[in-house]
Structure 1
Amino acid sequence: MRKHVAMVLGLILLASTLYGCGQKAEESAPASDTGKAEAPAQTEEQGADENAASSDKPYEGTEIRVIFANHNWTDAVTAHLDEFTEKTGIIVKAENYAEDQLSEKLAIELTSGSSGLDVMMTRPLQEIKMFIQNGWVYDLSALKNDPEVDASDFIPSALASYEDASGACYGLPLVTERQILYYRTDLFEKAGLEVPKTMDELMAAAEKLNDPDNEVYGIVSRGLTAAAVTQFSGYLYGCGGNWVDKDGNAALNTPEAVKAFTFYGDMLRKYGPPGVLNMHWQQAAALYSQGNAAMYTDADSLYNSACGPDSTVSDVTGFAVMPTGAVYNICSWGMSIAANTKNPEASMEFVKWATSKEVATLAQSVGNSGARTSVWDDPEANKSFPPELVKVILASGDIGVETDRPQVISVGRARDAIGEVIVTAINGGDVQAAADKANATFQSIIDEDFGTK
């Protein structure tokens, strides 16, 4: 796996050299210059009718290749791609990949300078800084300023996560997330427990509800190295720590950070399920969904996976604001366009549709936390969310932090380093030593990315 990751990073480094930061996407040729054979002679009436149709669907027959992440939002929206084609005439060739596969796929294709990719789901806090630096994404500022898009309706922090220092925009937000606590109301009632309000109460509840003999564990959360970083962030903020100090230097080995690493590791080692070190969100959500955990901390956007209609605990799940006192409140997924697309106009039509209020309402109505403020005021959009969950989502915004990971260009390397400390903590190892090592690695990443050394 390390060899594979090293290969992808090597390709990315090569791309930085080959393409640089300033590469711009070229405009596609007008539809009339495509080289297709001319149509047979038409009557004046036929020509008028077809010209009108052409103006309604100027990209009729254009094919665009769109890469999606395997996500609940994708499931909801791709079922309606035919409606987009009917409306615009644009044919969507869709591909779906798991998150890690998606990152590798995009890194390889964008590094190669391929013009065969048009639109892609991206994570603004994970990869967009690197994509912008390398000139891999198309400038969507014109789309952001389109009155029909109504960018003012996006949650400000969600839209800002796609902007560079100059205000140029390289994506539009789709999904927002806040870390919340899912808990089994039946188990809490049976044990006579109140919903945790502090981290100490969370640990105490996990201990009391841990019942491995009956395959019910006190709590589950992500334990898989880099994947665990985002869920660890709430614990880090709750202990008074952060990724960097006020001067922008690495702060992974401060007393506050070490306390958070230790807490998270102890909690999952003592009261989490076997195999937690191999759990991304899919595995953790499935375990909770099957009734094998009393509590689960992760994103509210995973509601359908954790306790949706197919879950065995859908009727006995409660929701609460994280008892850490601070949590992330972020844009987790959005839509960007590849810089080398041959179809920028048609691609922008797709992004415009995918991020529209109508599609946002559709996606949110089946449990995806959207990025548009107006949609959160729409009862139709919130119909699949329990009222208690909507209250928790809105309340979590009051203690929200705008990032759930370090804001560096090489965020993948930084997450790998932090994830090693989390793994050490879950294994009961020397947390301070692991944090010192990770801090040195992280500081070197900061220096490299921002040219401080």
Structure 2
Amino acid sequence: MSFDLLKPSRRQFLAGSAAFGAAGLAGLRPAFAAVDWKKYAGTTLEVNLIKSPRGDTLQKYQKEFEELTGIKVNAEQTPEQQQRQKAVIELTSGKPSFDVIHVSYHVQKRQFEKAGWLADLGPFLKNPELTDPSLVESDFAAAGLAFAKDKNGRFGALPFSVDYWIVYWNRDLFAAKGLEYPKTFEEMVKAAETITDADNNISGFVARGAKNANVPVWTSFLLGHGKSPVGADGSLQTDSAEAIEAAALYQRLMTKSAPRGVTGFNWAECQSAFLQGKVGMWLDGVGFAPPLENPQKSRVVGKVGYGVMPKGPAAQASATFGDGIGVTEASAKKEAAYLYCQWAISKEMGARLLQAGAGVPFRNSILGDAKVREGVTMPGSWVDCVAQSAPISQLGLPVIIPVTEFRDIIGVGLTNLLGGADPAAEMKKATEAFKPVLARSEAQ
């Protein structure tokens, strides 16, 4: 049997993943009776979705929403990059062709807030005639609320699907060295170096080394040092003492305990290495789990632990990415559009996302529901890890417009570290290079 993996795109990977079985949804249907769902019967909504498993799920069950509300939905899915371009062009015109939009929070949050393109859903959430009683802010993971709200508390889009970063760990390799799962960054480093055995081609740790892709690995460590890349006042913290310490930690793990050639690794290469059973720990998003339990692809079936991110010197945090679904400020059908958004993130639809392997809901009540868990084909420890990551979730990228440029510039510095460069020098150089880019974006 060959264990070499094809390297599909992230969207193809997620579309093919089947983390959850076909658990029955009996009892999961929301208490829709509390809302006057027929209030806008006869209305037609235009919905702009990102081409993804989440978009597929919404379209697959769209008729149920139409039957529930009497609202006609015209939903269009567009590939991610094209969807973002289309959204900006149309929203800038002031006359978008859509009432509902699927938003990539970690890329578009600041841009949408600054332009005022999304309607404030706060008043709708507080309206018992429009909102099911189970939909309350406290049910969202902390990162979901951070994504959804601006600094003034304005609620711009409902949190839809989340990607928490966790640690996949090989229980057999840990047991062979008499190790337990690390609780702190310090223990993580020690475990990685203890497990590493170059003579037998065993590495203690793997994560993304390729520029741009590597930035969330570093931010995962930065958050544990109690800092974010950009402070609350908008100032860059990428050359702070904590940022340099996080970079030094990244350098140590990736040069002393990672596989050869890790400088060129993105998630697919990391996953492939872990599947071979030669890696102790792999830090990445929760969505890459299903192949690890697939005997056709994996040599670690039944050996994988799913660990919550260990504590850093100042905090325990799971770097988090996600998307939302909101109503355009320009829409003349805001309340009807809000009903669609509410349906999209309902408990029933969230359960379906999980069961299709299409995403992880931001709502804690879905992850903790026994009826959802009944059909889980992944180990229960995976679901436990997801649920335990929610309370410590923090944004994995800064809320700025030039996110891609940020990842490119900081990513070059991090890649240089793998060649032996000085962490302080690289972080200061990258920070100086990015400052004018950020300043220009804020001045526009």
Q: TM-score, normalised by structure 1?
A: 0.72
Alignment of 1:51-130 (within 5 A): 58-59=41-42, 62=44, 64-68=46-50, 70=52, 73-74=54-55, 76-87=57-68, 88=70, 90-97=72-79, 103-104=84-85, 106-107=87-88, 110-111=91-92, 115-130=96-111
Structure 1 residue ranges without an equivalent (≥5): 1-53
Q: CA 1:314–1:340 in structure 2 vs 1: closer, same or farther (change >3 Å)?
A: farther
Alpha-carbon contact 1:174-1:331 (below 8 Å) kept:
no
The counterpart of 1:356, out of the listed 346, 367, 370, is: 346
Matched letter for residue 392 of structure 1: C
The counterpart of 1:136, out of the listed 113, 117, 126, is: 117
Distance 1:347 1:216 in 2: 53
Matched letter for residue 420 of structure 2: G
Matched letter for residue 337 of structure 1: V
The counterpart of 1:375, out of the listed 363, 366, 382, is: 366
Distance 2:209 2:307 in 1: 21
1:90-132 C-alpha deviation (Å, 9 max, x unpaired): 344342535x565455445545666334433323343212112
Say if 2:385 is the partner of 1:404. Answer: no
The counterpart of 2:244, out of the listed 258, 262, 287, is: 258
Q: CA 1:67–1:324 in structure 2 vs 1: closer, same or farther (change >3 Å)?
A: same
Q: CA 1:140–1:238 in structure 2 vs 1: closer, same or farther (change >3 Å)?
A: closer
Distance 2:354 2:193 in 1: 35
Which moved further from structure 2: 177-186 or 246-255? 246-255
Match of 1:29 in 2: none
Fraction of identical pairs, as percent: 27
Alpha-carbon contact 2:159-2:362 (below 8 Å) kept:
yes
Say if 2:385 is the partner of 1:392. Answer: yes
Q: CA 1:262–1:449 in structure 2 vs 1: closer, same or farther (change >3 Å)?
A: same
- The 3-state SS of whatever aligns with 1:380 is helix
Alpha-carbon contact 1:173-1:331 (below 8 Å) kept:
no
Distance 1:292 1:83 in 2: 47
Distance 2:201 2:261 in 1: 13
Distance 1:275 1:81 in 2: 46
| Structure 1 residue 380, shift from structure 2 partner | 1.6
Alignment coverage as a number of residue pairs: 395
Alpha-carbon contact 1:222-1:276 (below 8 Å) kept:
yes
Matched letter for residue 70 of structure 1: S
1:353-407 C-alpha deviation (Å, 9 max, x unpaired): 1111221232234564322232233112234263333443444456x25322223
Q: TM-score, normalised by structure 2?
A: 0.73
Alpha-carbon contact 1:258-1:431 (below 8 Å) kept:
yes
Q: CA 1:58–1:242 in structure 2 vs 1: closer, same or farther (change >3 Å)?
A: closer
Distance 1:362 1:103 in 2: 26
Structure 2 residue ranges without an equivalent (≥5): 1-36
The counterpart of 2:160, out of the listed 165, 169, 174, is: 174
Say if 2:183 is the partner of 1:197. Answer: yes
RMSD of aligned C-alpha atoms? 3.8
* Rg larger for: 1
RCO comparison, higher one (Cα < 8 Å, 6+): 2
